[in-house]
């Protein structure tokens, strides 16, 4: 999460300020969009399995809801901070805007480590989080979803608590639920598939064939696994993937020049995306330092873990062969690193465009829940492809027309849409 030298919210504000300068936004609009419209900090008191009481700190940030209800995940992380939550809620505002869906930006979190909590204790935290913020969230106000170390089971506990308090069935309150309990088919694949849809379009733009390309990824959670699945189905080859090792409290890279086998690695991976080192060695993988994924001689890099991963310090280690970076994670590249990447001539697909597949399918889930009619998986993934491709093309065309770096183009489109909505409502 945060380090003393890195603050995700300051980075998000820096990125916004750059777009605001280009757009020449007035002072009131800048002040309004630089900070969340509202945020909540609260204590969650639970009884642990040993009978003791423990207090967990929870947050919810609603950055902007001028274009629709706030939308955003809930993270469980031992190093969660309000500034991380603020940054992610701001990025979510731009993400829903660039994807052109009628939602705003929100984010939530709890400072906790699910690795060290029983399922019963995790359930208590989920229910406690809803009890603390019940009056300020809802299907037409602010719709949560899963994020780092939360899953469909957590969402269902939260939904159940919300419905218990309201006395009504409200499946549209939260997304990322299990299929059959208000969840949407295709939601699990959505973020990873969305990343690869943008890669596919970028390869077309650069006149490259997928089967002639290779990829290296950071992270081996949901996003990476589905990104690898679709990319290899399209004929590409993944040679390296990194992940966090909970036991050693450090990350490792797993490399196989002939191409990694997704199902093989999934068979030796824990529920948090941690790959078993010894079993990987037995399967012929090189187990290397966690940062090596970035230095691979590949065509495509996909950072799909946490913020602040590609920095000014390591950006120069990126191989001269790399042509595309598609950000599966939120905020993985710092503004200083962006300058290096731009100078290298790498085609950057920024986070809030590349990983918008998750929120697009969350929106589809919300729509299906609110009308109580569910679509087939093919229909969901077809609509996802259409939305992602349209958003990608809009950003690339704008970037080409104005000779802009892709991140700048995406920001200008997103910020302009939100600022216009705020102005039209008379907020600024």
Query: Strand 53-64 relative to strand 105-111: parallel, antiparallel, unpaired?
Result: antiparallel
We report the CATH number of the domain holding residue 170 as 3.40.50.10860
What is the total count of domains within the chain? 2
Are 108 and 238 part of one and the same domain? no
Mean of pLDDT values over 116-128? 97
Query: Strand 53-64 relative to strand 38-47: parallel, antiparallel, unpaired?
Result: antiparallel
Place of tokens 């909590």: 117
Whether 97 is covered by a domain: the verdict is yes
- Domain of residue 82 covers 40-184
CB 277, CB 287: distance < 8 Å:
yes
Model pLDDT for residues 386-397, shown as the tens digit of each residue:
999 999 999 999
Are 230 and 255 part of one and the same domain? yes
Average pLDDT, the chain: 95
Are 283 and 160 part of one and the same domain? no
Three-state SS sequence of 183-221: ECCCHHHHHHHHHHHHHHHHHHHCCCCHHHCEEEEECCC
Mean of pLDDT values over 17-28? 96
Are 303 and 326 part of one and the same domain? yes
Distance CA 48, CA 55 (A): 10
Query: Is the pLDDT at 1 greater than 50, yes or no?
Result: no
Cα–chain-centroid distance for residue 175?
Answer: 14
Q: What pLDDT score does 306 carry?
A: 83
Whether 242 is covered by a domain: the verdict is yes
Are 257 and 334 part of one and the same domain? yes
Query: Is the pLDDT at 2 greater than 70, yes or no?
Result: no
Place of tokens 């089967």: 211
Provide the β-strand partners of residue 51.
Answer: none
Are 178 and 202 part of one and the same domain? no
Split at pLDDT 50, 70, 90, the class of 3 is very low
Mean of pLDDT values over 155-178? 97
Are 257 and 317 part of one and the same domain? yes
Query: Is the pLDDT at 364 greater than 90, yes or no?
Result: yes
Among 184, 201, 216, residue at a domain's last position: 184
Whether 208 is covered by a domain: the verdict is yes
Q: What pLDDT score does 247 carry?
A: 82
Q: 235: phi > 0 → left, psi -120 to 50 → alpha, else beta; which?
A: left
| Catalytic residue positions, numbered | 107
We report the CATH number of the domain holding residue 293 as 3.40.50.720
Are 121 and 220 part of one and the same domain? no
Are 114 and 140 part of one and the same domain? yes
Whether 123 is covered by a domain: the verdict is yes
Are 225 and 330 part of one and the same domain? yes
Among 122, 155, 184, residue at a domain's last position: 184
Q: What pLDDT score does 249 carry?
A: 86
Mean of pLDDT values over 357-386? 96
Provide the β-strand partners of residue 349.
Answer: 326
CB 262, CB 269: distance < 8 Å:
no
- C-alpha neighbours within 13 Å on the C-beta side of residue 377: 8
Model pLDDT for residues 294-347, shown as the tens digit of each residue:
999 999 999 999 889 999 999 999 999 999 999 999 899 999 999 999 999 999
Whether 426 is covered by a domain: the verdict is no
- Which tokens is 53 given? 């009481």
Produce one character per residue of 364-401: b if its CB has 16 or more CB atoms within 10 Å, e if not: bbbbbbeeeebbeeeebbebbeebbeebbebbbebbee
Model pLDDT for residues 240-272, shown as the tens digit of each residue:
999 988 888 899 999 999 999 999 999 999 877
Whether 423 is covered by a domain: the verdict is no
All residues at 6 or more sequence positions from 282 whose CB lies less than 8 Å from its CB, including other chains: none
Whether 200 is covered by a domain: the verdict is yes
Among 321, 338, 354, residue at a domain's last position: 354
Task: List, edge to edge, every strand of the sheet that includes 286-289.
Answer: 286-289, 250-255, 237-245, 214-218, 300-303, 324-326, 347-349
Query: Is the pLDDT at 95 greater than 80, yes or no?
Result: yes
Are 176 and 256 part of one and the same domain? no
Query: Is the pLDDT at 7 greater than 50, yes or no?
Result: yes
Are 192 and 53 part of one and the same domain? no
Whether 31 is covered by a domain: the verdict is no
């Amino acid at each position: 999460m945060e380090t003393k030298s890195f603050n995700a919210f300051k980075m998000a504000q820096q990125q916004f300020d750059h777009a605001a300068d280009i757009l020449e936004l007035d002072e009131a609009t800048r002040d309004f969009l630089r900070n969340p419209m509202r945020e909540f900090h609260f204590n969650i008191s639970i009884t642990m399995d040993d009978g003791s009481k423990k207090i967990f700190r929870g947050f919810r940030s609603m950055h902007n809801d001028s274009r629709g209800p706030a939308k955003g995940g809930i993270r469980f992380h031992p190093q969660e901070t309000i500034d991380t939550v603020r940054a992610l809620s701001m990025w979510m505002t731009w993400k829903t805007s660039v994807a052109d869906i009628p939602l705003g930006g929100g984010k939530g979190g709890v400072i906790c480590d699910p690795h060290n909590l029983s399922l019963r204790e995790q359930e208590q935290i989920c229910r406690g989080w809803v009890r603390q913020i019940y009056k300020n969230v809802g299907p037409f106000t602010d719709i949560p979803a899963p994020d780092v170390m939360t899953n469909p089971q957590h969402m269902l506990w939260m939904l159940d608590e919300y419905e218990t308090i309201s006395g009504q069935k409200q499946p549209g309150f939260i997304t990322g639920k299990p299929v059959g309990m208000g969840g949407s088919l295709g939601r699990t694949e959505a973020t990873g598939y969305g990343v690869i849809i943008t890669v596919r379009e970028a390869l077309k733009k650069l006149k490259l064939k997928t089967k002639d390309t290779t990829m290296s990824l950071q992270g081996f959670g949901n996003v990476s696994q589905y990104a690898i699945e679709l990319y290899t189905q399209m004929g590409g080859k993944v040679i390296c993937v990194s992940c966090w090792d909970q036991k050693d409290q450090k990350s490792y890279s797993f490399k196989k020049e002939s191409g990694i086998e997704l199902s093989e690695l999934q068979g030796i991976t824990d529920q948090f995306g941690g790959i078993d080192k010894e079993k990987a060695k037995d399967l012929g993988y090189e187990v290397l330092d966690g940062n090596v994924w970035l230095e691979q001689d590949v065509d495509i890099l996909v950072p799909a873990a946490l913020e602040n991963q590609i920095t000014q310090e390591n950006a120069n280690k990126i191989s001269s062969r790399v042509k595309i970076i598609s950000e599966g994670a939120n905020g993985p590249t710092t503004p200083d690193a962006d300058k290096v990447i731009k100078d290298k001539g790498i085609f950057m697909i920024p986070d809030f465009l590349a990983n918008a597949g998750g929120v697009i399918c969350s929106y589809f889930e919300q729509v299906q829940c609110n009308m109580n009619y569910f679509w087939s998986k093919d229909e969901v993934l077809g609509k996802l492809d259409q939305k992602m491709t349209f958003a990608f093309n809009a950003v690339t065309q704008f970037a080409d027309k104005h000779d802009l770096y892709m991140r700048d183009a995406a920001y200008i489109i997103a910020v302009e849409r939100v600022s216009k909505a705020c102005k039209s409502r008379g907020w600024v």
